[in-house]
Amino acid sequence: MNCTSVHTALAWLSDSRNLSVAALSCIFFYVIVNAIYQLAFSPLNAIPGPWYAAISDFWLTTHVVRLQQCKVVQQLFDQYGPVVRVGPNKIVFRDITTMKSVYSVNKFDKSAYYKSLLTNNNDHAMTTLEHARHVARRKGYASHYTTANLSLFQPEMHDFTLQLVNILENIGGNTALDCLTLFRQLMVDVVSASSFGYQPGALSKWTVDSEDSLSTAINDFPKRGILRSAVPTWAWKLVCSIPNKRLRQLCDSDKIMAEFVSARVYETRSQLSTRKVDHDECEKLPMLRRLLEHRMTPSNTPMSDQDVISECMGHLIAGSDTTSTTLSYMFWELSRRADIVVRLREELDAAMPDSKAIPDISVLQKLPYLNAFIKEAFRLYGAAPSLLERVVPSSIAKNGEMNEVFDLMGYGLPAGTVVATQGWSMHREPDVFPSPETFLPDRWLETSASPEELTRMNQYLMPFGVGTRVCGGQNLAQFMLKIVVAAVVRNFSVVAPPETNEKSMDMRDSFVIFPASMKCKLAFVPRKH
């Protein structure tokens, strides 16, 4: 190499080092300036919270990835009070008046976080951010979830629940089984029957050691959403390119569900196009039929197949995964609370003289202790207790005037600020729920609480969200929880093996909750009637 080449190479190395130093200096300068701005000059700088959360979203994201966001936010409330800054542009609160203002009165739009839960790479009601567009979508399925309409699907709900009872009887209490899997497959059958008029036979495919791919995909989807929201797009693609079977299954969960739902949509559309439907014979319409016949406002155009598929996928996920989780925690609670079992049996034995004849929902809804038990389960084990993020709009109406700043408990929040509360914390407000971490169904009984106390507790109870974006399928969940608890408690005693304990059942959250061990193993021992 001649001298000129050497000098050229050295000059290039020197320039590269200089560029690297300059780039690092710029990054360092930006970090320092941003930190100073967020801590000293941001409109949100007066709001209490950890300083490191105020300068970057990274700190909170680490807890999201660790599936501990709910607990960390609760700890912040305990430390800083009912209003906390958890990000450069994110405020969390725990206050009933503010909750009503954000979710019910002003009806703020959702934050971009919900886009991580897209189905089939498309919006459904839950991921539609704008309030007005959500209203148009919700009209397509709202009538399906009325109590009167769901009552028409009770034969299917009872049949699948009795199929569950038969499975448990055949096992005879000799084996502890994973309730999360079994109940999820029960709900896949129930939701498919009421939503699509189709029975996939998920329960019949269940074995002690495995579950079908559709049920697994439903379980994987929330975790997939957390990963997608927490890492850049390139990193997500890299994760999904790793040649690991289980990881690929998680990445493909959306695709697996889309294929199942697409088949139902095309089958139903084909049926509608090849025969004239007598609406008198179709008083009992599955949700899919309603969506295919729905006209979007104001255009008066039908929903596209892609929109219908995405919407149905959203309902399949929300209806199956959440209810199975709450059921599992309910029966785990019963495995260690003989006092509650005695009270439930006393009520259910009288209401169900025949242990295999499930009463009409109108009967179950009148059983005080059963309903108190369900409410307490919603309080502690509601499946979706996480932050419900909303965005402060450019103007807010107050006292007949339009304001550019939203007053949140004395703090002025500019447009674009993300605000949120979470059911986890509202359900653990000690002034409303004494001994908040203790499972106490009696707190919901009229004999134990005054009318004013019951009203206040109900105001704080938000297992299905709150306001105009409350979960549309909550009535279906209420039906199935009461039906399954009634049938199982009437026919079985629940026993937890040593491996199912406080540690294994410790709650993790990926918008929805699940046990730390990813399973809930219980044995169901047939009762001697």
3-state secondary structure of 420: strand
Domain containing residue 490: CATH number: 1.10.630.10
Instruction: Please list, in sequence order, all residues whose beta carbon lies within 8 angstroms of the beta carbon of residue 375, skipping any fewer than 6 positions away.
Output: 441, 444, 461
Q: How many domains, in total, are found in the chain? A: 1
Distance, in Å, from the CA atom of 482 to the CA atom of 377, rounded to the nearest integer, reads 11
**Does residue 206 fall inside a structural domain?**
yes
Say what the pLDDT of residue 65 is: 85
Q: How many CB atoms lie within 10 A of CB 155?
A: 10
Helices (H) and strands (E) in the chain, counts: 22, 16
Query: Does position 278 have pLDDT exceeding 60, yes or no?
Result: no
Contact 214, 255 (CB under 8 A): no
Contact 312, 264 (CB under 8 A): yes
Q: State percent of the chain over pLDDT 70.
A: 91
**Does residue 232 fall inside a structural domain?**
yes
Query: Does position 155 have pLDDT exceeding 90, yes or no?
Result: yes
| 224-276 tens-digit pLDDT | 877 777 778 888 788 888 888 888 888 888 899 999 999 999 999 888 877 65
3-state secondary structure of 94: coil
CA nearest to 87, candidates 127, 31, 38 = 38
Query: Does position 359 have pLDDT exceeding 90, yes or no?
Result: yes
Query: Does position 348 have pLDDT exceeding 50, yes or no?
Result: yes
Contact 118, 483 (CB under 8 A): no
- The one-letter amino acid at 316: L
Query: Does position 399 have pLDDT exceeding 70, yes or no?
Result: no
Say what the pLDDT of residue 118 is: 87
Query: Does position 402 have pLDDT exceeding 80, yes or no?
Result: no
Say what the pLDDT of residue 11 is: 58
**Does residue 106 fall inside a structural domain?**
no
Query: Does position 83 have pLDDT exceeding 50, yes or no?
Result: yes
Contact 318, 218 (CB under 8 A): no
**Does residue 24 fall inside a structural domain?**
no
**Does residue 492 fall inside a structural domain?**
yes
Q: Which of 161-165, 298-302, 397-401, 462-466 has the lowest mean pLDDT?
A: 397-401
| 412-440 tens-digit pLDDT | 999 999 999 999 999 999 999 999 999 99
Say what the pLDDT of residue 15 is: 62
Q: Where are the beta strands (DSSP E) in 306-432?
A: 390-391, 396-398, 401-403, 405-408, 411-414, 418-420
Distance, in Å, from the CA atom of 300 to the CA atom of 319, rounded to the nearest integer, reads 28
- Looking at every residue in the chain, the average pLDDT score rounds to 89
Distance, in Å, from the CA atom of 80 to the CA atom of 268, rounded to the nearest integer, reads 54
3-state secondary structure of 445: coil
Distance, in Å, from the CA atom of 227 to the CA atom of 251, rounded to the nearest integer, reads 10
471 is in an annotated binding site: yes
Query: Does position 516 have pLDDT exceeding 50, yes or no?
Result: yes
DSSP state of 439: -
Query: Does position 105 have pLDDT exceeding 50, yes or no?
Result: yes
Say what the pLDDT of residue 29 is: 60
**Does residue 166 fall inside a structural domain?**
yes
| 452-484 tens-digit pLDDT | 999 999 999 999 999 989 999 999 999 999 999
**Does residue 26 fall inside a structural domain?**
no
Say what the pLDDT of residue 215 is: 86
- Find out whether the peptide bond into 498 is cis, omega within 30 degrees of 0: no
Contact 286, 195 (CB under 8 A): yes
175-200 exposure pattern, b = at least 16 Cβ within 10 A, e = fewer = ebbbbbbbbbbbbbbbbbbbbbbbbb
**Does residue 101 fall inside a structural domain?**
no
More confident: 22 or 86: 86
Structure tokens at 223: 């975790």
Structure tokens at 94: 């725990």
Q: Which of 4-18, 283-297, 378-392, 492-506 has the lowest mean pLDDT?
A: 4-18
Query: Does position 280 have pLDDT exceeding 50, yes or no?
Result: no
Which DSSP helix (H) or strand (E) runs through 441?
none
Query: Does position 501 have pLDDT exceeding 80, yes or no?
Result: yes
The position carrying tokens 């209003």 is: 83
Residue 228 belongs to what domain range? 119-387+422-526
Query: Does position 357 have pLDDT exceeding 50, yes or no?
Result: yes
Distance, in Å, from the CA atom of 371 to the CA atom of 399, rounded to the nearest integer, reads 40
Q: Are strands 507-510 and 512-515 parallel, antiparallel or unpaired?
A: antiparallel
